[in-house]
Structure formats: C-alpha cells, structure tokens
C-alpha cells in the first residue's frame, strides 16, 4: 500500500522521468498500460529535446532524483548479471556529488556528538567542506597537538531521508515483480534489500573507522599502500576523525608523470594490492574508484573512504584461486568441476555440458594478446554463462568482480599495456603453494596446536576408559540419524497400537460375555449388565483409537 508521502514522491519521480524522455517506463507499468497509446498523442513525445540513448537518459534521471537514487544506480551498475551491459556501463558513470550543507550545521552536529564546544577539542575547524557526498561531507581541522586531520560528518536527518526513499524503492520493487514481465528474472526486491543493507551500513561511521583501522594494520609496513590513522578518541557514530593525507589524485595522470612516477609500477602495484587484500588478508576495499585513491611522490598508493569492504569465506577464496589458475591453464574441465564442488551450480548439472559452455566463452578471448584481455569482463562473461545453468548469485563475488573491474580499469588508465594476467598468475600460484603441501600442513598444525595441547592431557584417560568398557563388554555403538530416529518412533508407535488393540479386544470380549451370560451367580444381573456395557464401550473405543492411529501413520 502506497502512503500519501510516497504518492507525492512517486509523482515527482514520474515528472522527472517524463522530463528525461522516459515516458515508456511509465506507460509500461500495469497501471498505465491500457492507455499506452496516448504516448504517441502527447506533445512531449514529438517535441522533446532529449533524444539521447536510453541508458544515458536513465543515468540523467537518477542524478536528478537525488543522492539516494544515485547510490542505488551505482550499486546497480555492478550487477551485470541483472542488467544489459550498455545500461550497467552507463550507470557506472554516476557521480556521487551533491551540494554541501552549511558548515555551521556540521559544527553543531559535532558539538552535540561530543557534548562540548568544538574549540575544546580542536585548534581549528574549517566550516568550508573539503568534499561533499550523499551520506556525509568532509571538513579539515587541526588537533591540539598540531596534527592535521579530516572530520567526516553525517548529513543532518540523512537516515530519515534514506528510509523514505528506500521504503518507496521496496514498494516499487514489489509492484515491478508482480506486474512487470521482466520483474521475476531481474529480482528487484532482492536488489533493493541488498542496497538497503549497504547504504544503512554506511550510516555508522564507527563501522567505517573499524574498517580503516583493520586495513591500516594489514598494510602497516607496506611500500605499496598507506591507510590513514584513525583518531578513535574523537570518532562517534556520526563523526569520524582521521589523519589528513597529502597526495596526487590517481586520475591525474599528467601530474603523476611530471613527478617521475613509473606508470608501469603503479599499474602492477594496484593489481598486487588487490590480490594481497583478497588472498592474504581476506579483507578488501570494495569501493576503489579513482576518487578514493591518491598517490604519494614515491609511488605509494593512499586509500580513503572505507564504507564498503568485502570478505570471502576460506572455501570461496580457495575455489576462486583454483578457478583462476585453471583458466590460466585453459583447463575448462577443472573449472566446471570446481563450480560443481563449490555448490555454485546445482549438483545435477551435466559436467560435460557445462565444460563445453565455458570453453565456448573462453577460447575466443584467449585468442587475443593477454594485454588486451579484460580480466573483470572475462569473469563477468563466466558468471553470465553460469547463470544459464542456474548458478546462484554470489553477492561476495559480485562485490569482488566490481572491485576487480575498478582496479583493472585504473591500472590500464595508468599503463595501457598492463598485463593483469601475467601480474596475477605468480601471486595466485604462490598463494596456492602456501595452502597445500608440507609447508601448509605445518602452518595449520601450528595454528591448531593450542587447541590440540589443551585436549592432549585428557587423551590417555579417555583411551583407557574406552579400553576398560570394551573389556567389560559395556562399549556401545551410538548411531544417530534422522532416519533411525523416525524408525525408532515408528516401532514404538506400532508397539503401542498393538497393546491398545489387544487391550481393546479383551475388554470388548469380556463385556460381550458378561452381557450374554450374565453374572453366573457371582454378580447381580444389573451390575453384570453395567460392567459388560462399560467394558464393551471401552474396548470399542480403544480399538477405534488404534485403527485411527494406524491410518494416520500410513
């Protein structure tokens, strides 16, 4: 049910769609389909100026609808498994730039969060924002000890604004799934739920600070990546204070070249950072677009904005590495086997058929020089092929693919000859060698040693008890399964029904004898009749109960 506030917002959305020549979207809905012919009679259809391609008009409409829709479009751009390639590529151009809110409001939010005047904590605070986005904006400041910092502040009432638009998105998604012919295939409700989780996670700046702190610890002594320090004593849910960094935006290629930085080194280093985050630390920055990356004069990357991070399970990590290595070696049968073993595709999938589909996708790609092959788009083609075999969408892999596309695009922007495959293969082979073999065995043994040592002293006592029980004939094999429990219950029930039937039959027979032959001189006739009737009725009841119980079980 659409609430009045949602109805007004929906009217505004439709007006924006009309302004951008997207009336076909409106008239494609169930409500307006009967009057769709009116589109050809309307003046805006014949005289509108915006004749851009459909994906371009969608992007411009989302930009006009505001920051929440911009972010939604950004997330949709990563879902190549759901959207046409042209639309996904266009949505990737969405820029999260919105007008700043007044610096005085930012100051008031900070002071309310700290419950004290800002001057007691900071020497200086610049009310002119350094950057402004849909969720928060950033100001520069200086601590009492002279250190320069940046202060990230959530927008006022942002949660209320987000909740309003997300609720509307949920309503629209449910309507689309019900009335739009493509609704079930594109699963709009699932997409909106995924978006809701992502965007509300970004509202907790303590969470973002924890992400930054973890990533900084992983790369503390790295020459490839620097992560600014978090000032925990000044960080709250709606205020995040961290070290101010100085570097050149990674997109400013000319400035980087003028500093004498090797573009080849930067391109390869970006790939190495990505694979280190994924396979060594299992914790990767999942929003590494050019706006979040800077470069120091020595060629070291600096990362900012840690609202979206990704992780993989150990099983996913292992299967992903093995899949990539199998692709490097063009072992398509192994790729198909790994997809089945991991459960990414149904176990009833025919291995040979799946292998053939993967070969069909891969062979034309491998005919190109390696430097011209897009790693990210190759994974995308693979996922799209696997979808034909009912491969379940793996959210963690979608996030990984998006990050890989960003890294690859950035690397080739810096160094067009970047061969991501050659850069990645040695890294993956080294990682796999650490997961199997003698070295891996010793490592896992060392990791589990504390737990083994904890239980080791009790082992002789437990073994002695087992031997004593075996010698005394008291050792039992305890086997538990759902089928065995069900069988045990069935036997117990059958036994109970048998006893009930016997008892009922005996009572019925006794009652019949009493009614037929009377008391035989031992009981008065009236009492014999009463006992006979009672026993007969009780016996009949027990027999009926036994029969009903047996019928239910069958």
Q: Which residues contact 540 (CB under 8 A, 6 or more apart)?
A: 504, 508
DSSP annotation string for 459-523: HHHHHHHHHHHHHTT--------HHHHHHHHHHHHHHHHHHHHHHHHHHHHHHHHHHHHTTTTSS
Q: With H, G, I as helix, E, B as strand and everything else as coil, classify residue 247.
A: coil
In the beta sheet, which residues pair with residue 285?
309
Check residue 331 and report its DSSP letter. Answer: -
d(CA 502, CA 510): 12
Is residue 237 within 8 A of residue 204, CB to CB? The reply is yes
**187 sits in which H/E element:** none
Distance CA 370, CA 363 (A): 12
Q: What does the alpha-carbon distance between residue 51 and residue 28 come to, in Å, rounded to a whole number?
A: 19
Q: State which H helix or E strand residue 324 sits in.
A: helix 314-328
Instruction: Choose among 399, 409, 320, 387: nearest CA to 82.
Output: 387
Clarify whether 287 is annotated catalytic: yes
DSSP string, 10-28: HHHHHHHHHHTT-HHHHHT
23, 165, 287, 305: which is the annotated catalytic residue?
287
Which residues, listed in sequence order, are joined to residue 136 by a DSSP beta bridge? Answer: 154
User: In angstroms, rounded to a whole number, what is the distance separating the alpha carbons of residues 474 and 35?
Assistant: 83
Strand partners of residue 132: 137
Which residues are catalytically annotated? Answer: 287
């Amino acid at each position: 049910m659409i609430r009045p506030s949602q109805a007004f917002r929906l009217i505004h959305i439709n007006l924006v769609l009309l302004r951008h020549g997207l009336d076909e979207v409106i008239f494609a809905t169930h409500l307006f389909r009967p009057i769709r012919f009116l589109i050809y009679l309307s003046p805006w259809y014949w005289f509108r100026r915006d004749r851009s391609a459909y994906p371009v008009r969608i992007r411009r409409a989302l930009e006009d609808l505001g920051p929440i829709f911009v972010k939604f479009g950004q997330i949709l751009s990563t879902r190549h498994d759901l959207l046409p390639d042209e639309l996904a590529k266009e949505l990737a151009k969405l820029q999260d730039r919105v007008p700043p809110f007044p610096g005085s409001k930012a100051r008031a939010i900070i002071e309310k969060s700290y419950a004290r005047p800002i001057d007691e904590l900071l020497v200086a605070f610049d009310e002119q924002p350094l950057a402004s986005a849909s969720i928060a904006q950033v100001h520069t400041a200086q601590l009492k000890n002279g250190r320069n910092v940046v202060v990230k502040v959530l927008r006022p009432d942002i949660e209320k604004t987000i909740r309003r638009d997300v609720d509307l998105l949920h309503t629209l998604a449910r309507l689309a799934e019900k009335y739009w012919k493509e609704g079930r295939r594109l699963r709009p409700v699932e997409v909106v739920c995924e978006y809701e989780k992502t965007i509300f996670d970004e509202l907790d700046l303590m969470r973002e600070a924890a992400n930054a702190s973890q990533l900084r610890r992983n790369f503390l002594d790295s020459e490839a990546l620097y992560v600014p320090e978090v000032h925990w004593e000044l960080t709250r849910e709606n205020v995040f204070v961290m070290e101010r960094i100085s570097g050149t935006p990674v997109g400013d290629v000319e400035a980087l070249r003028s500093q004498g930085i090797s573009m080849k080194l930067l391109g390869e280093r970006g790939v190495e950072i990505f694979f280190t985050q994924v396979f060594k630390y299992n914790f990767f920055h999942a929003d590494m677009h050019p706006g979040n990356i800077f470069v120091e004069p020595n060629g070291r990357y600096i990362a900012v904005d840690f609202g979206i991070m990704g992780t993989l399970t150990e099983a996913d990590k292992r299967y992903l590495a093995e899949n990539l290595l199998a692709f490097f070696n063009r072992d398509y049968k192994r790729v198909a086997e790994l997809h089945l073993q991991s459960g990414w595709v149904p176990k009833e999938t025919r291995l040979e058929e799946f292998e053939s589909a993967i070969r069909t996708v891969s062979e034309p790609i491998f005919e190109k020089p390696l430097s011209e092959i897009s790693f990210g788009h190759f994974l995308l083609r693979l996922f799209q092929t696997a979808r034909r075999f009912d491969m379940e969408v793996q959210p963690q892999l979608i996030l990984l693919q998006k990050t890989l596309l960003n890294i690859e695009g950035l690397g080739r922007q810096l160094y067009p000859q970047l061969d991501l495959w050659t850069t990645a293969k040695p890294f993956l082979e080294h990682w796999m060698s650490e997961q199997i073999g003698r070295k891996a065995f010793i490592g896992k043994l060392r990791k589990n040693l504390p737990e083994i040592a904890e239980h080791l002293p009790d082992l002789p006592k437990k073994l002695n008890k087992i031997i004593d029980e075996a010698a005394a004939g008291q050792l039992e094999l305890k086997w538990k399964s759902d089928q065995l429990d069900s069988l045990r219950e069935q036997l117990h029930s059958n036994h109970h029904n048998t006893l009930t039937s016997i008892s009922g039959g005996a009572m019925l027979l006794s009652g019949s004898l009493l009614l037929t032959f009377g008391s035989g001189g031992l009981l008065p006739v009236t009492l014999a009749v009463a006992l006979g009737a009672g026993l007969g009725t009780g016996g009949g009841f027990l027999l009926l109960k036994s029969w009903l119980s047996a019928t239910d079980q069958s």
